[in-house]
Chain A
Amino acid sequence: MIASWYVVVSFMLIVYAALDGRNFGAGMLHWLVARTPEERRQVIAAMGPLWSWHEVWLVAFGGTLLAVFPRLLASAFAGYYLALFLILWGLILRGIAVEVGGHIDDRLWQAFWDFVFVFANFLLAILFGAAAGNLARGVPLDAQGNFSMAFFTDFKPRGHVGLLDWYTVPVAVFGAVLLAAHGATYLALKTEGPVHDRSATWAKSLWAAVAPLFVVISIESWAVRPDLPGRALANPLCWLGLLVIITAAVTLVSGLRHRCERRAFIGSNLLIVGLLATGVAAIFPVMLYSTLAPENSLTAYAVAAGPRSLLLAAVWWPMGLVLTILYFVFISRRYAGKVSVQRDNHGFY
């Protein structure tokens, strides 16, 4: 039961990363792929009517984590205190920029909110990337399962680590480049005209940068957590994950080569899912690794809620999932195809 819940919360986080990741990516590239006010409205419209639905995956993940792994949420959120508030403020700024940027037909107004939008998306992509690096590297958990962490200490990934060090910074950069590539692939699928052409070009160069960065952080991961590759090799799910990554890469490259945007975007999504799924499968059952002493690490079994709470949550959670997939299918079908600024403009009021 506990392992299934580990799968469920990982699934929610991965879905969030793939869905909102493309919005972060599109947001980071906003200035590069769209030059005129109309083109910029096109990028925002491409985020679609469902962007807040994407964000709800993060909120629902947080709620589910509290319900099934309360002690993990308590340790992790209190420990990452300031970083988490930066993420929250970034989400606030991003959301507001999307919602109000198009309200007034004025160049300065839009330029200002475009800036806020780009800035918030960079901040979020880098912070989420650094968070992923922190999960792999571990945090300075004491014997009581508590930690509190500075933004950086001596940049070494062992002992009393900070949020940023020579391991998590490259992971954050990798994350930002990966999400930018993902966003560019999405924009190429959803837009037309110059925005489409620039996005397609950016997608190719960004994906070309992802490959060497991936090699770098793989080697770094091996150096920082020498135990991880061995555990991954022994875990059949990681082999499955590797298969997904290879399939995704092939699909993506073929999609980009043949200018089949749908195929490229499917590959891009699969790649993110494959990478993260392999990662969470490799660290299981540890949810938060201790850099001070491995025995302080918090495992899923140690942080889970009581068996009855887990069982009862397993009754209603699948119903919620089915319902939300239905809403998603309904709305997506209504908004299928390329966006049209005439139809989907969020309207100057």
Chain B
Amino acid sequence: MNSTLYDPAFWSRLQFAFTLTYHYLFPQLTMGLAWFLVYWKWRALRTGNEKYNQAVRFWAKIFGLNFAVGVVTGIPMEFQFGTNWADFSRYAGGVIGQTLAMEGMFAFFLESAFVGALIWGEKRLGPRYHFLAALAVALGSWISGYFILVTNAFMQHPAGYHIEADGSLGIASLTAYLLNPWAWVQFAHNQIAAVVTGSFVVAAAGAFYTLRGVHPDQARLYLRAGTLVALIASVLVAFPTGDQQAKMVGNHQPVTLAAMEGRFKGGTMAGVAVIGQPNIAARRLDNPIELPGALSFLAYGHFGSYVRGLEEFPEEVWPDNIELLYYSFHLMITLGTIFILLMAYAGFENWRGRLASNSALLWVLMLAFPFPYIANTLGWMTAELGRQPWLVYGLFRTRDGYSKVVSNGDTIFTLIGFVGLYFVLGLLFLYLVGREIGHGPEEKAYPGRGGEPL
């Protein structure tokens, strides 16, 4: 019998991880796609070219379905702080509650007020206000991301807090809390990663229509905009934002960096393992192929920098699943590298005017869109597994944070409920989005355009 099954913290962690991972499949596209909508709506306003409005109408439908699932799967996240992590809420609620409440007051209100108008309100609003609705939704979704990342950054690298008389945490400085350097770096990295997802999806739709030989004007627009943005975002997500994120981990969570790289022994000229399997029992990396000195350079800016190994830290502060952390991190890096190469090649073909005729490339672009979702998920697994065994880094352990009054059975029951409900929701979403993609953008003039009074 594995004692993990009797550990209530395990089930609450699994439920939170599952519901959050599933939830985040939707906002990452929302946040990435939102700026495409804003840009096309703006182009439509400036040029009067109807093709941009057609693009907005088509993508607004995908956006709307995506947004709806994102909203309904997001509500359980906030409530689980109380239901499953009551002791964590008692301890840190005075701090993290601030940003969760701000997210509601400043981001969700903004998004939810304008999203209906963006998707269904073109006739009610008129072109200018419709553009503003797109802008409001884009801003709202990014502001929401910022507040959530401040919350996460506090758990990774606490800032701006003080300890109250009863031992719980309170806010000492709102500016120090909101301007946590970890939050800025993580925000930049995470938001650009969302743009990678959005642009891969746009490019995939363009490739799909091109290969099918339908909607040629729209397909060209999606393909060009998608691949160009994807190239820029894929580069930025690695450098400087990913690089800065790794340095942040190296400076503030050295034990996490060691675990991410599977380094048990410290030393200078530390290498990055391209391949290898961490072997916890033997405390070594099996079958490694390393780039010597690369880790020292990337983490601390010098090939000669000393990178500490796991053995230099007591085992009780090691992340509790080093293998999963290692593989998540390495697979994310690998995917990120492939994204840059793929989109650089697409950019080159575009420059040679062969983007729409290179059918091998189009097939790859069409089928590549799931991988940014995987890379985003792996990035979050790296961040959250790397934070273990802490809920608030260095201050409060995960095993102290769960709700003592909730039984394992209750949590397993609700977890199974979520799995079932989200499975059905996923099928429904794929069916409806598939239908929209199948219909494709409407290339006729909009029925209500100009004629209907506002």
Partners in one complex: yes
Give chain A's interface residues, CB within 8 Å of chain B. 48-53, 55-56, 58-68, 70-71, 73-82, 84-85, 88-89, 91-92, 95-96, 99-100, 103-104, 146-148, 305-306, 308-309, 312-313, 315-317, 319-321, 323-324, 327-328, 330-331, 334-335, 343-347, 349
User: What distance in Å separates the Cβ of A343 from its nearest Cβ neighbour in chain B?
Assistant: 6
| B289 contacts partner chain A, Cβ-Cβ < 8 Å | no
Q: What count of chain B residues pass the 8 Å CB interface test?
A: 75
> Which residues of A have CB within 8 Å of B280?
none
| B338 contacts partner chain A, Cβ-Cβ < 8 Å | no
| B14 contacts partner chain A, Cβ-Cβ < 8 Å | no
A59 and B113 contact, CB distance less than 8 A: no
| B228 contacts partner chain A, Cβ-Cβ < 8 Å | no
Give chain B's interface residues, CB within 8 Å of chain A. 61, 64-65, 68-69, 71-76, 78-79, 81-84, 86-87, 89-90, 92-98, 100-106, 108-110, 112-117, 120-121, 123-125, 129, 136, 162, 164, 168, 170-172, 174, 403-407, 410, 413-414, 417, 421, 425, 428, 432, 435-436, 439, 452
User: What distance in Å separates the Cβ of A85 from its nearest Cβ neighbour in chain B?
Assistant: 5
> Which residues of A have CB within 8 Å of B103?
63
Interface class of chain A by DSSP: helix
Q: List 15 A-B contacts (CB under 8 A).
A: A49-B121, A52-B71, A67-B98, A70-B92, A77-B79, A78-B406, A84-B82, A85-B76, A89-B417, A305-B168, A312-B171, A313-B101, A317-B101, A331-B114, A349-B436
A60 and B79 contact, CB distance less than 8 A: no
A100 and B432 contact, CB distance less than 8 A: yes
A331 and B101 contact, CB distance less than 8 A: no
> Which residues of B have CB within 8 Å of A61?
104
User: What distance in Å separates the Cβ of A137 from its nearest Cβ neighbour in chain B?
Assistant: 19
CA A88 to CA B73, docked complex, whole Å = 9
Interface centre among B64, B73, B83, B172 (most CB of A within 10 A): B83
A91 and B113 contact, CB distance less than 8 A: no
Q: What 7 additional pairs, Cβ within 8 angstroms, besides A63-B100, A78-B404, A331-B116? A: A73-B97, A89-B421, A96-B72, A100-B68, A306-B168, A306-B171, A315-B174
B109 and A56 contact, CB distance less than 8 A: yes
User: What distance in Å separates the Cβ of B80 from its nearest Cβ neighbour in chain A?
Assistant: 8
B105 and A60 contact, CB distance less than 8 A: yes
A349 and B61 contact, CB distance less than 8 A: yes
> Which residues of A have CB within 8 Å of B64?
99
Nearest chain A residue, comparing its CB with the CB of B73: A92
A67 and B110 contact, CB distance less than 8 A: no
Nearest chain B residue, comparing its CB with the CB of A49: B116
> Which residues of B have CB within 8 Å of A77?
79, 81-83, 86, 89
> Which residues of B have CB within 8 Å of A62?
78-79, 82, 100, 104
User: What distance in Å separates the Cβ of B98 from its nearest Cβ neighbour in chain A?
Assistant: 5
CA A110 to CA B425, docked complex, whole Å = 16
Nearest chain B residue, comparing its CB with the CB of A67: B97
Q: A82-B414, A316-B102, A328-B113 are in contact. Are A75 and B164 (CB under 8 A)?
A: no
Closest 8 CB pairs of A and B: A70-B93, A77-B82, A49-B116, A320-B105, A60-B104, A67-B97, A66-B97, A306-B170
Nearest chain A residue, comparing its CB with the CB of B120: A346
B432 and A103 contact, CB distance less than 8 A: yes
B97 and A334 contact, CB distance less than 8 A: no
CA A77 to CA B109, docked complex, whole Å = 23
A66 and B405 contact, CB distance less than 8 A: no
> Which residues of A have CB within 8 Å of B95?
309
A59 and B403 contact, CB distance less than 8 A: no
Q: A77-B82, A77-B83 are in contact. Are A70 and B104 (CB under 8 A)?
A: no
B170 and A321 contact, CB distance less than 8 A: no
> Which residues of A have CB within 8 Å of B136?
327
> Which residues of B have CB within 8 Å of A53?
109, 112-113
B90 and A49 contact, CB distance less than 8 A: no
Among B75, B86, B96, B425, contact of A75 (Cβ-Cβ < 8 Å):
B86
CA A345 to CA B116, docked complex, whole Å = 11
B112 and A66 contact, CB distance less than 8 A: no
CA A84 to CA B81, docked complex, whole Å = 12
Q: A64-B97, A78-B83, A81-B410 are in contact. Are A88 and B75 (CB under 8 A)?
A: yes
Among A66, A81, A320, contact of B406 (Cβ-Cβ < 8 Å):
A81
Among B73, B82, B105, B114, contact of A66 (Cβ-Cβ < 8 Å):
B82
Among A66, A82, A316, A331, contact of B93 (Cβ-Cβ < 8 Å):
A66
Nearest chain A residue, comparing its CB with the CB of B173: A312
CA A174 to CA B104, docked complex, whole Å = 30
B405 and A320 contact, CB distance less than 8 A: no
A48 and B97 contact, CB distance less than 8 A: no
> Which residues of B have CB within 8 Å of A323?
105-106, 109-110
